Amino acid sequence: MKGRHAFHVPPHASAYIKRQQRSASQARYSSRHIKKIFFASDPEEFAILAHRWQRISFMKTPVFLNALRAFEASARHQSFSAAAAELNVTPAAVGQLVRSLEEWLGTPLFLRGTRGRSRLVATEAAERALPDIRAGFDRLSLGLRRLREESRTGMLTVAVSPAFAAKWLLPRLDRFHAMHPETDVRLDTNLKLVDFTAQGVDIGVRYGRGSWSDLVAEKLMDEQIYPVCAPGWLAKNRDLKAPHDLAGKALIHDLSVDAHIGFASWDDWLQRAGAANVDSSRGMQINNSAAVLQAAVDGYGVALARSVMAHDDLAAGRLTRLFPTVELASELAYYIVYRTESATLPKITAFREWLLQEAASLLTNVPSSD
């Protein structure tokens, strides 16, 4: 044998080298290491070097996680620069990470243009892979959050609407703290539906029909719709004896939920009450249920209230329910929502059970109607 070019690859190394040759191009030291394996004629030396390579490959896994993050962000933004801004690195670093992933895979991930707004377009193969990669990152994030969990302790993030927080949840939350002092609650109040995974939300309460993608929805409370007013306002309007007497009175409208999904309006209630003579087009319009009730408390007129929101104001005597014999059940309800994979986390289970207890007690403490 003269020189390395005449070297015969030992049988025990041949198959291994073929499997690892592509991976070897990912780092300078990788190619040097694979050459050592290539020239290992002794099976024992080969085994030692191969084991060392496996350790090196394992330790480089986070590098490829970063490359996958760079790839996913670049595909979403169709730009290395925008991806770099999101990831807090330079565009050059993002480009290098993506190129290293392409080299490791042996295939391009983007069709790179030179003009136009979309200079970076993912290939068909990349587009097919992206949903799984994104789902993988979501699962990794959840796994890391679970590692941070300490039995029943820690922070619990709860997503609710601002009105529900103000009128129902906050007045009762001290009872949860008394039962579970080891758990701190962070309220995420938003009128828009939040992404539980992206925003780190553990559990929430939503108002609707009980169908939201990627979330378990468990009914918490049904609701009735009826008119309310302040006792002082009613004392000044003693002619209000029947629903048709609402004609000419100041009506307060709740616009916090879109009517097209089944949210009851004054028209719906007046139709149920048989008060066709009442013009419901006039009056104050407010896009927050808590503010609607406050306007009624302050004597601005008659509000069409949601029973769950109005419960405490009625019990405290700040509001009075009008025409209790006219009943209108809402098509919508309140639901506890959480991710399937989070269902068994102790702090989420504790908060869910507490919500159900509070809702059950509400049914046994219905305010009386005058």
Strands 225-229 and 320-321: antiparallel
Q: Is residue 286 situated within a structural domain?
A: yes
Q: Is residue 38 situated within a structural domain?
A: yes
Whether pLDDT at 154 is above 80: no
Whether pLDDT at 45 is above 90: no
- Could you report the per-residue pLDDT of 129-144, keeping only the tens digit for each? 999 998 888 888 777 7
- pLDDT over 70 percentage in the chain: 77
Quick one: pLDDT band at residue 47, thresholds 50, 70, 90?
low
Q: Is residue 163 situated within a structural domain?
A: yes
Q: In this structure, what token pair is assigned to residue 326?
A: 């006219």
Q: How many CB atoms lie within 10 A of CB 345?
A: 21
- Position 177 scores a pLDDT of 96
Read off the pLDDT of each residue in 320-344 and give the average, rounded to a whole number: 94
CATH number reported for the structural domain that contains residue 233 in this entry: 3.40.190.10
- pLDDT over 90 percentage in the chain: 59
Q: Is residue 161 situated within a structural domain?
A: yes
- Position 138 scores a pLDDT of 82
Quick one: pLDDT band at residue 351, thresholds 50, 70, 90?
very high
Backbone phi, psi, residue 119, to 5°: -80, -15
Q: In this structure, what token pair is assigned to residue 167?
A: 């009128």
| CA distance linking residue 29 with residue 45, whole number of Å | 18
- Please tell me whether residues 202 and 349 are part of one structural domain: yes
Whether pLDDT at 244 is above 90: yes
Q: Is residue 301 situated within a structural domain?
A: yes
Q: How far is CA 237 from the centre of its chain?
A: 46
- Position 146 scores a pLDDT of 65
- Could you report the per-residue pLDDT of 268-321, keeping only the tens digit for each? 999 999 999 999 988 999 999 999 999 999 999 999 999 999 999 999 999 999
Whether pLDDT at 110 is above 60: yes
- Please tell me whether residues 314 and 235 are part of one structural domain: yes
Read off the pLDDT of each residue in 17-22 and give the average, rounded to a whole number: 48
Quick one: pLDDT band at residue 245, thresholds 50, 70, 90?
very high
Domain count, the chain: 4
Closest residue by Cα to residue 370 from 179, 168, 234, 195: 234
Q: Is residue 326 situated within a structural domain?
A: no
Whether pLDDT at 109 is above 80: yes
Read off the pLDDT of each residue in 181-199 and give the average, rounded to a whole number: 90
Range of the domain at 348: 149-222+333-363
Quick one: pLDDT band at residue 8, thresholds 50, 70, 90?
very low
**CB-based contacts of 354, cutoff 8 Å, min separation 6:** 175, 176, 179, 180
Closest residue by Cα to residue 286 from 306, 262, 261: 306
- Please tell me whether residues 76 and 143 are part of one structural domain: yes
Q: C-alpha angle with apex 86: 194 to 132, nearest 5 degrees?
A: 65
Least confident segment among 12-16, 25-29, 357-361: 25-29
Q: Which residue has the tokens 């919508």?
A: 332
The whole-chain average pLDDT of the chain stands at 83
- Containing H/E element for 32? helix 28-38
Closest residue by Cα to residue 370 from 235, 168, 171: 235
Cβ 121 vs Cβ 78: under 8 Å: yes
Q: Is residue 43 situated within a structural domain?
A: yes
- Please tell me whether residues 188 and 136 are part of one structural domain: no
| CA distance linking residue 202 with residue 271, whole number of Å | 41
The CA-based diameter of the chain, rounded to the nearest angstrom, is 115
| CA distance linking residue 150 with residue 100, whole number of Å | 38
Whether pLDDT at 329 is above 60: yes
Whether pLDDT at 25 is above 90: no
**CB-based contacts of 154, cutoff 8 Å, min separation 6:** 148, 183, 184, 347
More confident call, 163 vs 60: 163
Q: In this structure, what token pair is assigned to residue 97?
A: 């990470």
Cβ 351 vs Cβ 345: under 8 Å: no
The tally of CA atoms less than 13 A away on the side-chain side of residue 102 is: 18
Burial class, 362, CB count within 10 angstroms (exposed 0-12 / middle 13-18 / buried 19+): middle
Whether pLDDT at 36 is above 60: no
The pTM of this model reads 0.64
- Please tell me whether residues 121 and 254 are part of one structural domain: no
